[in-house]
Structure 1
Amino acid sequence: MAIRALPEHLVNRIAAGEVVERPASAVKELVENAIDAGAGAIEVVTAAGGKSLIRVSDDGVGMDRADLAACVERHCTSKLPDEDLSRIASLGFRGEALASIGAVARLEIVSRHESEPHAWRLLVDGGRKEGPAPAAHARGTKVEVRDLFFATPARLKFLRTDRAEASAVADATRRIALAHPGIGFTVAEAERRPLNWPARADLLSRLADCMGEDFAANAVPVEGEKEGLRLSGFVSLPTFSRANSLSQFVTVNGRALRDRLLSGAIRAAYADVLMQGRHAMLALFLQVPPQEVDVNVHPMKAEVRFRDPGLVRGLVIRAIREALSAHGFRPTTAAAGATLAAFRPGGGGGGQAAPSPGTARPFAAQGAAPGWQGWAAPEPGPASAAEEIPVPAGFAETGQAVFRDDRPSAEFRAVDGGSDEALGFPLGAARAQLHENYIVAQTADGLVIVDQHAAHERIVYERLKAGLAKKAVASQMLLIPEIVELPAGDVERLAARAGELAELGLGLEPFGPGAIAVTETPALLGEVDARSLIRDIADDLAEFDASTRLEERLHHVAATMACHGSVRSGRRLKGEEMNALLRQMEQTPNAGQCNHGRPTFVELKLADIERLFGRR
């Protein structure tokens, strides 16, 4: 078959398939155009999830007649001041997106530049242009897209339900809004509650609007800079997590995207503080010199390519870890909320009816050992009904609590908490040990409950990690070197990093052009599958020009050692031992969670406790 040039309208529709995958793709392009135009407020309106209508309005600089006529032509843009594609500072190319959308939909653009006495309207119907013609409109631009993919009906079959497409539109807009807190955004869809994110003076307020107040209350700031790269944003405490990664928002130079390199770096940063199967919530903003990142590797600009991926990965991991270490002692509000819910009537989920005022009510604490039953104070009632509540038979009064224990021995042990000066410490002074595992401490403004095993496990683990950080990893020499055959490129990359790997106890030597000899392995790992380890490291070096595989394995072994070497559950501690553990926790990075991501302590403020008893 002879080679022939395709007609222009077909070329445009093919290009549209690359740029506009679904309604959310079109919204993303149009909103980015509005931001590049200097908009201070952007409104997005859709119908049928964007299939029948997409309207994006902004108050930006607008376009004059000549620019409006050119904006729907392919390879026309106002966002590239010269012909240097390595220095792209804008979010997109207006001509490319509008030309693609106009090829597969009915497009109307009304725009007014401040230098024009009136606005201009341009119509594009499946690639056919009409106008520009005079129109009435305020300063800025309004773009309406109707009947998306009417010119390519096969694409409609691959779209999801209206609700799903509307959710995708909202998510795409939210990701952009997070990166631009100074711009107000509104997203409206028929039969759905409009989303409104007003312009904010600070980032955390915008994050609270888009991600919830709970995130803002449980987030820590991230700051990092290296060799011209700058990372900022907020990440959640490890004990405040989600079941999926949909609440992870990352931007590069203001461009919202999902990137495998950055996702992997985030996982690595949380590797030893997050519970398995859980994902952190975060919003990270990476600023990279334009010449250090290629934003044109993906038609929809959903991915980027860094010139030095190892530098970027290292910056992200280090900055997040430092932020978590600096705030790792801070408890989450979610843990305290769950604790309060467990104490409240019906907190265990039994669904029992509330007792009448003025009557005492037995209750079983959630998770309490069999045989224990507390006796709740009466709920407040009329003054005339007030009377002394007799202590039921089988109960003993301790002066601080009324409890009954049908087991042979009680598990509540009051201890001498020492001087009240300890109340000024973050974790306060130890007052009791419950069930030979939980330390109850009094603070200046509340109480803290500590899991002694989980807390000591983190302390021991951080000590082992500190030894690894000093590169003082003992190695064991193999009697017979392990020969691992690899492609020549992998051998070269491993040989170039042999010095760094040696500091972690792994000895490597080239063994001809297509193999590597493993002469030593870290003693901490014991018997190791060197062949599998070397291939994993080689794969990481090929993809990211960096590898944390060996370090991660060493940390895993250290975590296992810490678990077996820490204070066990069921061990009775003296008062001074409890307080010593509390003081060590206060000086240990990431002490708010154990190696498995579970919280090491929960905190209740005095105000919360008073609310439980109706004092507030």
Structure 2
Amino acid sequence: MAVIHILDEVTANQIAAGEVVERPVNAVKELVENAVDASASSIEVEIADGGMTYIRVTDDGCGMTEEDAKLSVIRHATSKISSVDNIYHIASLGFRGEALPSIASVSRATITTRRSEDNEGTVLEMTGGEITEVKPAGAPAGTTVEVRDLFYNVPARKKFLKSERTESSRINSMVGKLALANPDIAFRLINNGRTVIETPGNGRLMDVVSALYGTKTAGEMLPVEEEGEHIALEGLISKPSLLKSSRQYQTIIINRRVVDSAVVSKAVDNAYHSLLPKNGYPLMVLSFQVPPESIDVNVHPQKREIKFSDEQSVFRLVYHGVLGTLTSQSTADTIAREMIHDPGHEVVKEHDFNPGSIRVEDKPLGKPDIGLSEETRPKSSWGEPSPSYEESRGQGADHFGERRAPSFAPDTEEKDLFTNHSVFDEYRKEEPKREHLETDPLFEEEKQEDPVIPLGQVSDCFILCQHGKDLLIIDQHAAHERVRYDHLAERAEGIPVQEILIPYLIHVDSGDVNLLEDHRADIEKLGITFEQAGPDVIRITGSPEDLSAAEMERVMGDIVKAYHEKDVPSPETMRHRMMAYAACRGAIKRGDPLNIRQMKELIRDLFHTSRPFVCPHGRPTIVKFTPVELGRLFKRP
């Protein structure tokens, strides 16, 4: 008996459907692309329960006869191509003849269609891919496909679907991208009876962007236009000031087909280069017109990816087009990040210090004294101590005019100053004469760490310190961040919530509202409570610390970006990020003046933290210059 056997048609169809229709958004995409191929001028999509119970796509395209309607649900039946040679010259969106059969095999579907020249239309009823009824009916010109109970006969596939919010968000995003790819077609998306997308179909891309993302976003877009050999690029890109939380707001269109392209994305990233922070992506809509034979669209079951015959040309075209747009709109100093020359200093690392033994002092102890120190000189020889700034202000300007320069009278004898004998001789470090071998000490002497001595503050931002012969520069904000972070980390696992008297209203992308709802429990552990106040608005009712509305908007933006990452961060990682932000929020800022006492306290607290040499964000807190490095800056040999 043969081990290999042919699968029955139902099983084969469901396996094939799994490649094409992975979730409701794939069904919507395939049906809308069929409507575009049918030369429709308006397309309406209606979904219910995230597309899991109901999907309807209606167009005013060319329609089908009864015979064509019956053939359209047979696998590999298509009007787009007729031979293998046509695969390399595809100008339509669909060409495999798999979409309708795949969708019908895992749902209960109805097709209603009529050509404009026919007097009556055709209704085709199907269940699980089998035609159950064909009948004539009155219908408007065009085609309507209704899909009910998607995956009703594939429960294993259905259980892997996400929540209704998530599936609806995917469909919203896909319909939006298809509208951007076809600005000459009027799109409408109805979700559970509410219209969420409506575009004018007047052929203007900027109007579609305005309809999808708002007029404020449209005002931040810049037009891109570039031509190369056999390839043309046009579209819109956002200013560097407008960022989104993920790449889902980046739309790449090749011959009206929405695709993902690593080559195009990389070229855009390189063009923006240092204009963007680490977390954030520009919004863009880039549309390419290329010869069909120069691309291969048959490399992915869902046709999401394509291959270019000359990727380098595409990369260069995108890079120069985007960069040219950015540089032509603004002067170089407003779009480029300042490049700071690295003088060759060292970032302090763990092995450079023993933090537990660090002392913070006003001046060195135990240093040689040649008679000029405060302890040995007569007080009268230096005059009385200078009054403080506050005391001087009360005495008026005349007081300063009357003051005489203090006399210089070191207590070293005059006869010693004018002899050939140096006053430094007794402090010279000469090698002692060894008349016998040294023996190891009975007890090992503990190495005394040089104290850190604050010298002053530069630009109300950096603290200059002496450590032995080295110069330390401490970033006061980064140092205080580390101190505050360690204090927060000592608390309980959850971050306490502080109720807000007047809740904050924060605008987020509509798709991100669903994302936040899915992670509500984890977000509440971060000390944030919220509720949905509109399709793209959330109301913050509680927050950690005393964050303002603007600060909470930044926090929620960071949380959304984190959840959009490929590897969703763990609750511990999110807690770290929240504590890092809270530590940053309350830390000493650049521009805050500190006196010596405050500097000493900050440095002392810093060296009692778990990781004194980096802030919670991984930036260095201390930079060290050795005498050799300082000499190199002054071109000393």
1:77 alignment counterpart: 78
1:203 aligns with 205
Q: Describe the SS at the equivalent of 1:270.
A: helix
Counterpart-to-counterpart distance in 2, 1:14 and 1:304: 23
- Aligned 8 A contact 1:37 1:60 in 2: yes
Q: Which runs of 5+ in 1 are unaligned?
A: 333-405, 410-434, 438-568, 571-616
- Cα deviation, 1:289-345, whole Å, max 9, x if unaligned, reads 10011111011111111111111112111111111111133999xxxxxxxxxxxxx
Q: Matched residue of 1:141: which SS?
A: strand
Native 8 Å contact 1:234 1:282 kept in 2: yes
Flag the 1:239–1:97 CA change in 2: closer, same or farther, 3 A: same
Distance in 2 (CA, whole Å) between partners of 1:318 and 1:67 is: 47
- In the other structure, the counterpart of 1:30 is 31
For 2:65, the equivalent position in structure 1 comes to 64
The equivalent residue for 2:236 is 234
Q: Where in structure 2 are the equivalents of 1:86-125 lying within 5 Å?
A: 86-93=88-95, 95-125=97-127
Q: Distance in 1 between matches of 2:261 and 2:206?
A: 23
* Equivalent residue, structure 1, for 2:352: none
Query: Residue 229 of structure 1 contacts residue 289 of structure 1 at CA under 8 Å; is this kept in 2?
Result: yes
Which residue number corresponds to residue 255 of structure 2? 253
- Does 2:156 match 1:170? no
Q: Which residue of structure 2 lines up, in the alignment, with residue 45 of structure 1?
A: 46
Match of 2:310 in 1: 308
Give 1:191 shift.
6.0
Distance 2:187 2:313 in 1: 34
1:266-291, Cα deviation, whole Å (9 max, x unpaired):
21121132222221111110111100
1:214, CA displacement in angstroms? 2.1
Q: Which amino acid aligns with 2:186?
A: G
Cα 1:64/1:218, change in 2 over 3 Å: same
Query: Contact (CA 8 Å) 1:70, 1:95: kept in 2 or not?
Result: no
Are 2:173 and 2:248, in contact at CA under 8 Å, matched by a contact in 1?
A: no
1:21 matched to which residue of 2?
22
User: Which position in structure 2 is the counterpart of 1:188?
Assistant: 190
How do 1:269-288 and structure 2 match up within 5 A? Answer: 269-288=271-290
The whole-number CA distance in structure 2 between the counterparts of 1:17 and 1:150 is 13
Who is 2:156 aligned against?
154
State how far apart, in whole Å, the 1-side matches of 2:163 and 2:175 are: 19
Instruction: Report the residue type matching 1:34 in the other structure.
Output: A
Whether the 8 Å contact between 1:60 and 1:141 is mirrored in structure 2 is: yes
SS of residue in 1 equivalent to 2:88: coil
Number of matched pairs: 340
Show CA shifts across 1:444-467 (max 9, x none): xxxxxxxxxxxxxxxxxxxxxxxx
TM-score in terms of structure 1 length: 0.53
Distance in 1 (CA, whole Å) between partners of 2:214 and 2:251 is 14
Q: Is the 8 A contact 1:68 1:132 kept in 2?
A: no
Whole-Å Cα distance in 2 between the matches of residues 144 and 307 of structure 1?
38
The AA in structure 2 aligned to 1:68 is A
Q: Is the 8 A contact 1:43 1:187 kept in 2?
A: yes
Distance 1:246 1:192 in 2: 23
Quick one: which amino acid aligns to residue 3 of structure 1?
I
Per-residue deviation at 1:203?
1.4
Shift of 1:239: 2.0
Instruction: For 2:288, give the aligned amino acid.
Output: L
**Matched residue type, 1:90:** S
Note the alpha carbon deviations across 1:425-448, whole angstroms, 9 max, x for none.
xxxxxxxxxx999xxxxxxxxxxx
Which residue in 2 is equivalent to 1:135?
137
Q: Secondary structure at the match of 2:31?
A: helix
Question: Kindly tell me: are residues 79 and 330 of structure 1, through their superposed partners in 2, closer, same or farther at Cα, counting changes over 3 Å?
Answer: farther
TM-superposition CA deviations, 1:397-422 (whole Å, max 9, x none): xxxxxxxxx9x99xxxxxxxxxxxxx
Please state how far the C-alpha of 1:130 moved relative to its aligned partner. 2.7
Instruction: Classify 1:331/1:78 alpha carbon distance in 2 versus 1 (closer, same or farther; 3 Å).
Output: farther
Q: Retained in 1: the 8 A contact 2:188–2:195? A: no
Alignment of 1:340-489 (within 5 A): none
Q: Distance in 1 between matches of 2:332 and 2:186?
A: 32
- Report 1:498-517 matches (<5 A): none
User: Which residue of 252, 263, 273 corresponds with 2:265?
Assistant: 263
Cα deviation 1:514-544 (Å, max 9, x = unaligned)? xxxxxxxxxxxxxxxxxxxxxxxxxxxxxxx
Aligned to 1:5: 6
Three-state SS of the structure 1 residue aligned to 2:248 is coil
What is the distance in 2 between the residues matched to 1:173 and 1:239? 26
Alignment CA distance shift 1:244-1:194 (3 Å): closer
Give me the whole-angstrom Cα distance separating, in 1, the residues matched to 2:198 and 2:150.
25
CA deviation vs aligned residue, 1:141-170 (integer Å, no higher than 9, x gap): 000000001121110011011111111111
Q: Does the CA contact (< 8 Å) of 1:18 and 1:299 recur in 2?
A: yes
Equivalent pair of 1:215/1:281 in contact (CA under 8 Å): no
Name the CA shift for 1:127/1:236 in 2 (closer, same or farther; >3 Å). Answer: same
What are the Cα deviations for residues 589-611 of structure 1, in whole angstroms up to 9, with x where unaligned?
xxxxxxxxxxxxxxxxxxxxxxx
In the TM superposition, residue 17 of structure 1 has moved relative to its aligned partner by 0.2
SS in 2 for 1:79: coil
Aligned 8 A contact 1:71 1:94 in 2: no
Q: CA deviation at 1:81?
A: 5.3
AA aligned to 2:87 is L
In 2, Cα distance between equivalents of 1:243 and 1:156: 28
Q: Is the Cα contact below 8 Å between 1:237 and 1:328 reproduced in 2?
A: no
Match of 1:362 in 2: none
Residues 173 and 295 of structure 1, relative CA distance in 2, 3 Å threshold? same
Which residue is equivalent to 1:219?
Answer: 221
